[in-house]
Structure 1
Amino acid sequence: MLVVAGAALLSAALLFWAVGDLTFAGLFLAGLVGVGGILLLLRRPAPIHALAPPAEGAFDAALLRAVLDGAGPTSALALTDPAGDLVSANSAWGRWFGAGVGPLAADADPATLTSLAEAGRIARRDGAAAIGPAMLAGRPAEGEVVAVAGDRLLWRFRRGDGPDLGAEAARLVAGEAGRRIGDAGLMLALVDPSGDIRAANSAFAQRTAADDGEGAEGTQLVDHLVADDNGQFHLAAEGKASPPLRIIQIPSADRPDALSFFLLMDDIASVRLSEDESLHIHALLDSLPLGLALADSDGRFTFLNQAFRKAAGLNHTERPAWPGDLVVDEDKAAVSDAVRRFGRGRALSGDLAVRMKTNPEEPVAMTVAGARGLGSAAVLISLKDNSEEARLKREVAQATKMQAVGQLAGGVAHDFNNILTALIGTCDLMLMRHQPGDSDYDDIQQIRSNANRAANLTRQLLAFSRQQTLRPQVLQLPDVVAEVSHLLNRLLDERVKLVVKHGRGLGPVRADPGQLEQVIVNLAVNARDAILAKDPEGGGTLTLTTLAVSAEEVRRMGTDVLPVADYTALKITDTGTGIPPHIIGKIFEPFFTTKEVGKGTGLGLSTVYGIVKQSGGFIFADSQVRRGTTFTIYLPVHRAQPGEAPARARAKDKAGETWGSGTILVVEDETMVRAVAERALARNGYTVLSAENGEAALELLASTPRIDLMISDVVMPTMDGPTTVRAARRTHPDLPILFMSGYAEEQLRKSIDIPNVSFLAKPFSVQQLAEAVREVLRPGNGANGAGEGPK
């Protein structure tokens, strides 16, 4: 290059000497320089290893750095001296390994650094050496080293900027992808060349008894396998009795040191049962009372026993292919997923609540379990026929609801009775001051009539809640039916035919005959309306049947509601419209009616229910739409106790004999009721003292020389009636007591347990109050005038 430059300058000087023009000579020199520069750029550079050895210190650091950077950003290049120290490196090397860090000082384990030093020695001897995959600075890299410029070495490494393939594969195996593979019944493990598990999916972890996918990491794959005598592998956690495994190895690369994916699945097809063995298993399953079915690993039915068909609502000719065909569309996916999961996974089980197509209203319990050792069957499906259980649950729920509603109805009726007592008593007092024909007489009578109607409604509520006062007697049910038949002939339409049938061997029952008559009348009137609603022209038939039901017959019924005992039953059957299934569970609820507004209160059947239950009996309704309804009442047969006397009617005074004398203490927290009682008794000749609570009553009792009778409400604040009476009996043991209450007398007697007391049910009229007081104070009625009251 110096010779060419000297020749160019000499040529320019000679041209200037010959021509004498400095500008022309300068242009000539510039042209030569430009042509020479172009030729220099077009000349092909020599390879790095072909460079002539420069003199010591002849390297230009900037020029060498520029040459190394020309290799591009995907290769890291570095030049080292004979001692292995870094002479120069490109920008990629600095980013990957750090500025000023040589290859032998990179972040790597000692074995890797040793292999790099060995590669350098080989390159000095042979001119070049390859560097296999190694972890440098925490990332995999590979490349080569070349001897250049004498004893210097040029290092070249290549690696991508993407994630670690091994770590990414482990993340996929242990993550969502591995879980989905496990749901398909496949166990998946990522294994390194030494046999250690790098990652495993949840299916592998469950089958090998590991807690989770990470619990299998670091263990040897072979430790989870065991071989039998036939050379087939099984899971060590399940033993050699488990199905053999199919194992598939998938290398992640062609290198011998690459990671491998291992797929493990049950080789169910290798377990074959003979035809006789299959028939024996099917015969055994068919004889069991449990609904059982078998399905293969794909979820297809292979066998269904008779109990399963019955529970699923199938007949003998139906052949469903898949378990999902039995359920409603909303449950198909859950059933199919469970069958596939348990059929290809570990022998586990799980329960599902599904709705069958044949009865979508009632959920049933389906159990799915993995089956092993049954040939092609991989899943055992159990279906429980819980129709009887569902019926029992409905009956218990209905009884609980009726009890809760009854308590509410009883409380409302009791409070309402206080209001009606004051209203009826006030009307009675006003009527005493008016004569028929007065302008206000008819209005007062109308008010009293409506109050009595309201009192009848409260009595029905108390009957439903089993809190009304009953007068039970030992009687024969046919006698009650015969007595009420005359009334029914007048109540029923001429288009309705009444048929009465009596069975033989009927036992006596203990009930209130008047209340039983009300039960029959209410049911008969409802039956008449149903018959005429179905066929207004032709009418229909109402049948009353009495029959004996033995304990053995009750036992054969298999019902958990009706206790096993002897009963006398009454069936009331009509040929009317029937009751729809979605309504029949509500018919005994108070105020529930299907009749038009103004044609029914909805208390008829609730009253029937309460009277029957309070009498110790049971009532059931069975109906078919457009075919009729049957109400069956079961009353327990009464067994007479030793010394029991027949019931007698209580003798009453003639109407109008209500006058008397004596001092009466009235204890009532309701002001209006207390005022009515005080005025009514005063008009009948009694001296009346009143107290608003128990404490005030005891004070009056202590300060008054003589009190002939105490009339007390039962439910009062602070101190109730029974507590007040017990305190009064300590100082006045012979004091007659008359309790007023809106609750049932029988129930109060059981809860109060105070001897020689009488009861007066609310609401009562002035006449009824005066008669009850005269009855208690009548000479000879109980000890010292204290009547025992009605039984």
Structure 2
Amino acid sequence: MATSPLSPPRNDAPRRSMLIAGAGGVAAALVILGLIGDWQLAAGFLAAALLIAGGLLAFWRLSRSAAATEANEDWALAHALAEASDGPLAVTDRSGRLVCANDAYRRLFDGLPTPPSLPFEGDGESRLGAAGRTAWRDGEGQVAALARRGRTLDARIARAGDDMLLWHFVAARGEGGTGAANPLPAAISAIAGPVGERLGAAGVMAVAIQPDGRIEAANRVFAARATGSAEANVEGRDFARLMLAEPTGHVRFEREGGGGNPLRLIQLPLGESADAPIVLALIDEEDAGFTVGLGDDVAAHVRALVGLLPIGLAMVDRDGRFVHINAAFASATAVNAAAPPLYPGDLVVREDKAALADAIRRFSGGASHVADMQVRLAARPDEPVALTLAGARGLGDASVILCLKETGEEGQLKRQVAQATKMQAVGQLAGGVAHDFNNILTAIIGHCDLMLMRHSPGDSDHDDIQQVRANANRAAALTRQLLAFSRQQTLRPQVLQLPDVVSEVSNLLTRLLGETVRLEVKHGRGLGSVRADPGQLEQVIVNLAVNARDAMVAANPAGGGTLTIETLAVGRAAVKRMGDDVLPVGDYAVLRITDTGTGIPPEILPKIFEPFFTTKEVGKGTGLGLSTVYGIVKQSGGYIFAESPPGQGARFTIYLPVNTSAEAPAPKVAPKAPKRPAGWGTGTVVLVEDEAMVRAVAERALVRQGYKVLTAENGEAALELIARCERPDLLVSDVVMPMMDGPTMVAKVRERYPDLPILFMSGYAEEQLRRSIDLDNVAFLPKPFSVQQLTEAVGGVMGTA
């Protein structure tokens, strides 16, 4: 127990009074003797002064003795009460001096500071001082949640009599009134007591450590190993200075050096917060069961086995460092297997480092289950991979096994399937947009044609109408590109040879590429014929060549570059050796276009075929060039792949299946009559169109041409109209309509009039609609159309009827 000696305040007033009384009596006797010369009167004054001084002296001695006796009795009791307290306790007097304190107070506050000037964290000292002033005034004061060395304490201050304050500190209760006390005192008592001795007998070194690394308590075995003496006092020392951490991950006592036994550290946090104290148990590795060092033969066999496995595997030690990685893991993460990074977190992006480190920490601490998590590798930040973690036992330093489930080929296949699915969905959207847009353009172009009939070329409005019509035609060309991307445009396939198509377009390419770009054409041998639309195939070559020219000129304006177009045959065996999961095995005629530009960045390569994606400046590209190429190739039954090797230009390879069959039979479509000049028409035409603006334009155009026109807004209305009127001469109908579509309506009309000529019109492509139109004697007019195109189509069908 640490106490300060009893030191009551010293009262010197009686002594001063006695001296004053004595001195005054002597002075009075001398004055009387000098003035009067009467010895008797002077002796009387002197005797009276001595009597008063003696009385004061006796009173002072008696009061001092009583006070001393009373104080000694009070402090003996105070000391006993202080030692009996279960927490830190101190007593201060009125003047603010520390009178006594118990051992618990001494351990908590080094150097016996005087309350309220105690080293609490934050505003603890000021709150404690306020509680002390309250105790002087009201007799009692309290303050809660005082933080000190990772502990949280509550303080109760009580006034003892008129001159003393009792400061009592207890462990704070948990939040919500749960009553959960700080476990650190109990842990300290256990480690420093019999429990620590029993752990030491079992070879376990136990130590309690504060968040700042200072030791609170340790058993005798730890003290002996750390300092060389079991009786050494290690409290308050820095734990890290007693240990030696090696680059291999081993931990040893600093006193024993590199020749000491490696230690295994088991942590037990004494709270949920990150700054809570911990209890460490240290065990010699050689006594911890079956272990294998990495240099042993068994570990070499384990590493050899892991290296032979085709899946990516890595082993991590208890400190989160790599022990070994196999070639598959190194290839998937783009690292050097001979010199891997120190930690697994070095392989992933910054956002995933903390989650991966936390998972490894849990499994290295003894978790026995298996868990999966998604991480993004720093080498491929846009492609999440699945990482499996499992605890390892009996593998030497390795305590966690990491397995990369998704490696190169599997991930590439998943990305290709996802890209194909996305492109198909976008294609359907583009086809629907083109259909609705074509209806709008039909109305715009039709009304422009009708107005031009009323305005001669010299009219002031004629040029404005022509300008509107020209812009509408430009928009119509844009919708044709959308239909090409969505594989819904009208193709007229022919059996042809790729070298012939390249030769036809070479003269055009020479003019398009300019003087700084050189064109090289190479043809292979043994190419089979393909079935494709030559006009659309030429558009594919032109689009790819123009993109390559722009890339090369942007990279080297003065020198340009070289554009190479190759045709070659790829047989079934070669395709099989390629092992591509997207390209079916078969015979192909290949068209390859390569440039010498800067290439396509890896992060952009997966997006180049998406509609409206462009890297050109605003106003210099629509983003439909490559998407149109993609649509034409896919609609022709082919496959296109884009590559950009590092340090080289871009390379586009198109695989078209070799045509092995004879010419396909002609479709069941009425032959189109040759165009004839638009003249005056006769007959009855039934017009069925759900779009009112298109129906109005078509009706006005046919009426002006001399036809009798009967209109209906849907298929049901058309059937009712035909049922109550005479036989019409022609049925003009939209294909896609709500409720009953055009082909269904026409099939019911043909039941009554089998030879009635039909003219279908639609914003969708004819190639797409032929699959749902299985009817004879049917003609097709694509939207958008002009008034002249409509009248020519109607006259042509009725002229062949």
Fold conserved between structures, TM > 0.5: yes
1:27-42 → structure 2 map (5 Å cutoff): none
Task: Show CA shifts across 1:240-282 (max 9, x none).
Answer: xxxxx9999x9xxxxxxxxxx9969795765244833222222
For the structure 1 residues 697 and 364, does the alpha-carbon distance in structure 2 shift closer, same or farther, using more than 3 Å as the test? Answer: closer
Alpha-carbon deviation of 1:543?
Answer: 1.8
Q: Which residue of 2 aligns with 1:520?
A: 541
Matched, 1:656 2:672: no
Task: Show CA shifts across 1:330-386 (max 9, x none).
Answer: 544444444343234243443444444544554444433221122333332334563
Larger radius of gyration: 1
- Structure 2 letter corresponding to 1:468: Q
For the structure 1 residues 174 and 641, does the alpha-carbon distance in structure 2 shift closer, same or farther, using more than 3 Å as the test? Answer: farther
1:750 to 771, 787, 791: 771
Count of aligned pairs? 596
1:485 to 506, 520, 523: 506
2:332 to 306, 311, 318: 311
Alpha-carbon deviation of 1:312?
Answer: 3.2
Q: Which residue of 2 aligns with 1:291?
A: 312
- Structure 2 letter corresponding to 1:637: V
Q: In 1, are the aligned partners of 2:387 and 2:404 still within 8 Å (CA)?
A: yes
Rounded Cα–Cα distance in structure 2 between residues aligned with 1:379 and 1:350: 11
Matched, 1:741 2:770: no
2:712 to 691, 700, 711: 691
2:447 to 426, 443, 450: 426
Alpha-carbon deviation of 1:625?
Answer: 7.5
1:607-686 → structure 2 map (5 Å cutoff): 607-623=628-644, 627-640=648-661, 644=665, 652-656=673-677, 660-686=681-707
2:603 to 578, 582, 595: 582
Rounded Cα–Cα distance in structure 2 between residues aligned with 1:435 and 1:589: 45
Q: In 2, are the aligned partners of 1:355 and 1:361 still within 8 Å (CA)?
A: yes
1:398 to 419, 428, 446: 419
Rounded Cα–Cα distance in structure 2 between residues aligned with 1:176 and 1:541: 81
For the structure 1 residues 266 and 426, does the alpha-carbon distance in structure 2 shift closer, same or farther, using more than 3 Å as the test? Answer: farther
Task: Show CA shifts across 1:106-165 (max 9, x none).
Answer: xxxxxxxxxxxxxxxxxxxxxxxxxxxxxxxxxxxxxxxxxxxxxxxxxxxxxx998799
- Matched residue SS, 2:480: helix
Alpha-carbon deviation of 1:644?
Answer: 4.5
Alpha-carbon deviation of 1:518?
Answer: 1.5
Q: Which residue of 1 aligns with 2:102?
A: none
Q: Which residues of structure 1 form unaligned runs of 5+?
A: 1-32, 45-67, 77-159, 179-187, 196-244, 251-260, 780-784, 786-791
Rounded Cα–Cα distance in structure 2 between residues aligned with 1:553 and 1:177: 73
For the structure 1 residues 579 and 309, does the alpha-carbon distance in structure 2 shift closer, same or farther, using more than 3 Å as the test? Answer: closer
- Matched residue SS, 1:572: strand
For the structure 1 residues 649 and 489, does the alpha-carbon distance in structure 2 shift closer, same or farther, using more than 3 Å as the test? Answer: farther
Q: In 2, are the aligned partners of 1:473 and 1:647 still within 8 Å (CA)?
A: no
For the structure 1 residues 596 and 39, does the alpha-carbon distance in structure 2 shift closer, same or farther, using more than 3 Å as the test? Answer: closer
1:33-182 → structure 2 map (5 Å cutoff): none
Q: In 1, are the aligned partners of 2:521 and 2:564 still within 8 Å (CA)?
A: yes
Q: Which residue of 2 aligns with 1:552?
A: 573
- Structure 2 letter corresponding to 1:546: T
Rounded Cα–Cα distance in structure 1 between residues aligned with 2:195 and 2:307: 50
For the structure 1 residues 471 and 246, does the alpha-carbon distance in structure 2 shift closer, same or farther, using more than 3 Å as the test? Answer: closer
- Structure 2 letter corresponding to 1:515: Q
Rounded Cα–Cα distance in structure 1 between residues aligned with 2:551 and 2:671: 40
Task: Show CA shifts across 1:451-499 (max 9, x none).
Answer: 2222111111111122222222233222222222233234332333222
1:176-325 → structure 2 map (5 Å cutoff): 270=288, 271-273=290-292, 275-315=296-336, 317-325=338-346
For the structure 1 residues 331 and 37, does the alpha-carbon distance in structure 2 shift closer, same or farther, using more than 3 Å as the test? Answer: same
Rounded Cα–Cα distance in structure 1 between residues aligned with 2:694 and 2:678: 23
Matched, 1:456 2:469: no
For the structure 1 residues 631 and 565, does the alpha-carbon distance in structure 2 shift closer, same or farther, using more than 3 Å as the test? Answer: same
Alpha-carbon deviation of 1:743?
Answer: 0.3
Rounded Cα–Cα distance in structure 2 between residues aligned with 1:367 and 1:738: 62
Q: In 1, are the aligned partners of 2:670 and 2:778 still within 8 Å (CA)?
A: no
Alpha-carbon deviation of 1:733?
Answer: 3.5
Q: Which residue of 2 aligns with 1:343?
A: 364
- Structure 1 letter corresponding to 2:496: L
- Structure 1 letter corresponding to 2:544: L
1:9-24 → structure 2 map (5 Å cutoff): none
- Matched residue SS, 1:582: coil
Q: Which residue of 1 aligns with 2:396?
A: 375
Rounded Cα–Cα distance in structure 1 between residues aligned with 2:265 and 2:554: 75
For the structure 1 residues 176 and 393, does the alpha-carbon distance in structure 2 shift closer, same or farther, using more than 3 Å as the test? Answer: farther
Rounded Cα–Cα distance in structure 1 between residues aligned with 2:571 and 2:185: 67
Q: Which residue of 2 aligns with 1:715?
A: 736
- Structure 2 letter corresponding to 1:545: E
Matched, 1:705 2:726: yes
RMSD: 5.0
Rounded Cα–Cα distance in structure 2 between residues aligned with 1:164 and 1:72: 25
Tell me the TM-score normalized by structure 2: 0.63
Alpha-carbon deviation of 1:631?
Answer: 1.5
Q: Which residue of 1 aligns with 2:554?
A: 533
- Matched residue SS, 1:542: strand
Q: Which residue of 2 aligns with 1:782?
A: none
- Matched residue SS, 1:378: strand
- Structure 2 letter corresponding to 1:420: L
Rounded Cα–Cα distance in structure 2 between residues aligned with 1:545 and 1:656: 45
Q: In 1, are the aligned partners of 2:675 and 2:796 still within 8 Å (CA)?
A: no
Q: In 2, are the aligned partners of 1:345 and 1:370 still within 8 Å (CA)?
A: yes
Alpha-carbon deviation of 1:542?
Answer: 1.9
For the structure 1 residues 423 and 75, does the alpha-carbon distance in structure 2 shift closer, same or farther, using more than 3 Å as the test? Answer: same
Rounded Cα–Cα distance in structure 2 between residues aligned with 1:643 and 1:593: 38
Tell me the TM-score normalized by structure 1: 0.63
- Structure 1 letter corresponding to 2:755: D
Q: In 1, are the aligned partners of 2:689 and 2:712 still within 8 Å (CA)?
A: yes
- Matched residue SS, 1:347: coil
For the structure 1 residues 481 and 319, does the alpha-carbon distance in structure 2 shift closer, same or farther, using more than 3 Å as the test? Answer: closer
Q: In 1, are the aligned partners of 2:669 and 2:778 still within 8 Å (CA)?
A: no
Q: In 2, are the aligned partners of 1:426 and 1:676 still within 8 Å (CA)?
A: yes
Q: In 1, are the aligned partners of 2:669 and 2:776 still within 8 Å (CA)?
A: no
- Matched residue SS, 1:590: coil
Q: In 1, are the aligned partners of 2:670 and 2:776 still within 8 Å (CA)?
A: no
Q: In 2, are the aligned partners of 1:191 and 1:262 still within 8 Å (CA)?
A: no
Task: Show CA shifts across 1:484-540 (max 9, x none).
Answer: 223323433233322222222323322222211211122222223333333333333
Alpha-carbon deviation of 1:765?
Answer: 1.9
